[in-house]
Amino acid sequence: MKKLFFMLISVFLLTSCSNATSEAEPVSQTDFLLNTVCTITIYNEKNTEKDSNELITGAFDLCREYENTLSRTIEGSDVYKINHSNGKPVTVSDSTIEVLNCAEKYSKDSNGAFDISIAPLSILWNFEGDNPTVPPDAEISALVQEVDYTKVKVNGNDVTLEAPVTAIDLGGIAKGYIADRVSEYLETNNVTSAIINLGGNIYTVGTKPDGNNFNIGIQDPSKTDGSILGYVAVSNKSVVTSGSYERYFIQDGKKYHHILDPSTGYPVENGLCSVSIISDNSIDGDSLSTTCFVLGKDEGMKLINSLDGVQAIFIDDNGEMYFSDGIGKDVIYTEYTE
């Protein structure tokens, strides 16, 4: 594996108006959806500004539709109904089944490192609360015993939770699924150049209007001014990053981040601070970024290198970067050591 010694923590877009031709000025909208900030930008010579704005509005409506289906906390959603079913079968939408089937695949491939039944632990830690604290060890230990994706049974469009404490959370996969659906919506409506950014889950539709790839920037995590360390140049690709910097709190001088290890119930501590996945489908990138973060550098990279059409960049706590096979040629960076 190649190694670089600068840090990659999060991705953002190097796509200002200067990246578009005068005939294709970008049209962009931002909204708060999926519990995060979402931005969709269209660079399209075929559409007027009004057309592009209407398409983006339609895309956000689609996001809301899926959020109302896949959210754990919205009453009446498929996931809410499943979690409050008291062990009875719940009939859900085709979309929910598609996400559950993909989640099961990555749970099996990772031997449980990715596990949507981690919801009780996520709720216990309450990273989204105003004042999260470290839960008591006894409560964590008790809930760890209940984390088991095999207790989530799918039969056709019926879903059953086989244990009373079991609950699911699709937070590690739903945004990827939604990004894929939004990209399909835009392409169906003849959009040939766009960027979908659902809280860091990025999907590039086509190329820039000049025919070049989009540059997905790599931000220096040690600075607050948005300084760039490097970028990947991609088209029709998803770029998703999971990192320990994204959501965390500090208690008694120790940092506790939101990516939990299903086997311990505690935040992952394996030396990684960031995992970025480049893939054709965002649902794969979303689930794999979490999976590989939990697996760690060696096992995570082994998994990535076994998959077709997927590449990865891992960063450890020392700022050392690791590439999956073949990705180095697609990364443009400033300073490095091989």
DSSP for 251-297?
Answer: ETTEEEES-B-TTTSSB--SSEEEEEEEESSHHHHHHHHHHHHHH-H
CA distance 41 to 195: 5
In this prediction, residues 322-328 reach a mean pLDDT of 82
pTM value is: 0.89
Which has the closest alpha carbon to 284: 330, 240, 331, 218?
240
pLDDT digits 0-9 by tens, 258-302: 999 999 999 999 999 989 999 999 999 999 999 999 999 999 999
* Neighbouring C-beta atoms of residue 236, cutoff 10 Å: 14
Q: What is the pLDDT of residue 48?
A: 79
pLDDT at 332: 59
- Structural domains of the chain, ranges and CATH numbers in brackets: 24-72+170-209 (3.10.520.10), 85-161 (1.10.3980.10), 213-337 (3.10.520.10)
Give the pLDDT band (50/70/90) at residue 320.
confident
What's the CA gap between 219 and 228, in Å, rounded?
Answer: 5
Average pLDDT, the chain: 88
Helix (H) or strand (E) holding 298: helix 297-305
Rounded Cα distance, 291 and 289, in Å: 6
Yes or no: say if 157 and 93 are a contact pair by the CB < 8 Å rule. Answer: yes
Structure letter (DSSP) for residue 22: G
Return the axis-axis angle of helices 49-70 and 94-109, rounded to nearest 10°: 70
At residue 21, the pLDDT reads 39
Mean pLDDT of the region 111-136? 96
In the predicted structure, residue 20 carries a pLDDT above the cut 50: no
192: CB partners within 8 A, 6+ apart:
44, 46, 205, 206
- Coil, strand or helix: which one is 144? helix
Would you state the pLDDT for residue 333? Answer: 54
CA distance to 44, 49, 90, 107, 141, per residue, from 309 (Å): 27, 34, 35, 19, 38
Q: How far apart are CA 321 and CA 329, in angstroms?
A: 14
